[in-house]
Structure 1
Amino acid sequence: MNKLAKVFVIAEHMGAMQELVSGAAQLGESTALVWAGDKGQAVGADTVYYLGELNNDRILEHYAPSIINLVKTEQPNLVLVESSRKGRLMAGTLAAALGTSVLADATEIIIDNGVVTKRMVYGGAALSSERSSAPTTVATVSPGVFETAAAGKAANLVEVPFVAPATSVKCRERKTKAGESVNLRAAKRIVAVGRGFTAPEELKLAEQLAAAIGAEVGCTRPIAEEEKWMDKARYIGVSGVMAKPELYIGIGISGQVQHMVGVSSARTIVAINSDKNALIFKQCDYGIVGDLKNVLPALLAQLGK
């Protein structure tokens, strides 16, 4: 595989940082992490460029001028940026300062006479390939693109001088966001529910199955955003979570592409649906045609033996 000389990573969350550093090692001869926050978490790359602490006086956006100066000085071939709200803002700010644009929401990155990225378009129905001709390519990376490797110690830590922004925002208060704490991206097994469930009380069957096999419960977009039976953190799909479980069981799910792209990397897909013509049966490894209210109790009974 071709490699670039130097790849940088910018991330704000630990999980994304570990994944992107692992990806940088696959794409580059040398890797560097640009990090703000807990210095002890900054590991895995050949070099860590440490920006400073995050507190009420300094938030990630305040470090944009420092990051721009650093990238202009070091001139990496590629900057991988976490595709979070702040990450996308930082990527756009950096790309504008470099006189280029962002390759957004990459689901695959290929080194072939430069940097080529692929991203989903038309609601996940197609892939678009984009090639960068810039000396430094800035790309935001969708979750789950790279396998997270075990992080080692950083070989070299460099303190980056702080460059004050022309204007700044002060954080006056921090509040924990309401909602469930679930990480479907890291789940080995997922039981997902769709509109085949006609009442929230029926979800208990899926929850019991998940508990029996040590799985997390996920859902389609309508269950989270329209019915509001589950937290949005459990929504799997093109604008939700992209998961890579070893086992995915889709119950009462039709198999529309907007959802299935979120589990396209699952090792084994099992479908349970009362409609034998449901699209999901064309994408699964194993399928059961039947009413979930009959199938799930039967499965639970077998698992209990």
Structure 2
Amino acid sequence: MPAPSAGLVTPAPVTNDSEDALGATPEVIPVTAADTQTPEPGWSARSWIIASIAVLVTFAGAAFCFLAVSFIPSSSTWATTNGPGVVASPWGYTILPGAPALATAALGMLAAAFVLGSRHYRSQWLRGAAALVGTVALVGGTIACFSTTLWPDLFYQPYQEQENVVPIQWSMMFQWATAPFLTVGLCILSVVAVTSPEGKPRGGVYSAKTAFVMGAVLVAAALWAWFATSLYPLQSHGEAITTGDYESWTNPWPNAVAQAGGPLVMVGAGVLLWGALILATSPPAAARREESSEAGEES
């Protein structure tokens, strides 16, 4: 019988005493370590199909929330209610915040599918695909964060130039997408960095050291973002820009980068706590050496 894993308490053998009354010898049924382990979920073609459908449906919902107000006339109509002088807000503008929220959820689901697939197949390619999704989300959040600096006239254009034509609400999308996109991008990249598909089949290994280093870097970046206006005071003043009959002001990059402080410190603190959890649940070094030596003897 193979030796049990380190740190695993193996129950005592189960005695089958159903025939004790007849004088028969009790049968001892050994319980191995494998019998006490919970089987880990697999990842198959069915898993890919279900995950892909869920991601596509969520992206479709995000697109609907974003484009409804511009392409469905009833969604941008201010309707009067029964009360005197009370006007109901158009439902197209009401659901606009759902666009970045659903897009964030879809990106997270897509990255989770790649991470689970990489752990099941021990594939670095799938791990790289998850990192690519995280990078896309992070770049999207960065663009949204600096959108007021890159396109200041976009935020000062007329709300609705023509009566029945509502422009695509890029300005609202950028404002609402900054925090969720940055957060999900940093989370995905943190998971990819801390976990590795190498190890047991359908398993993996976690690096507490990587978690601590990455968490500290993210927290330091958050502090820098928050104090950017104090560190660069000469670059914290906007400039007036005239576009046609409208005058707009540029948003200095120190003011824009301050928006990233919240997502950075939130993910950084979470990764630090994750590293502490990995450290708390990892077996001692002596137990790991004993387990590896036993595995070498069995091989």
What's the TM-score once normalised by structure 1's chain length? Answer: 0.22
What's the TM-score once normalised by structure 2's chain length? Answer: 0.23
Counting strand residues as a fraction of each chain, which structure ranks higher?
Answer: 1
Q: Which has the higher contact order (CA 8 A, sep 6+)?
A: 2
Counting helix residues as a fraction of each chain, which structure ranks higher?
Answer: 2
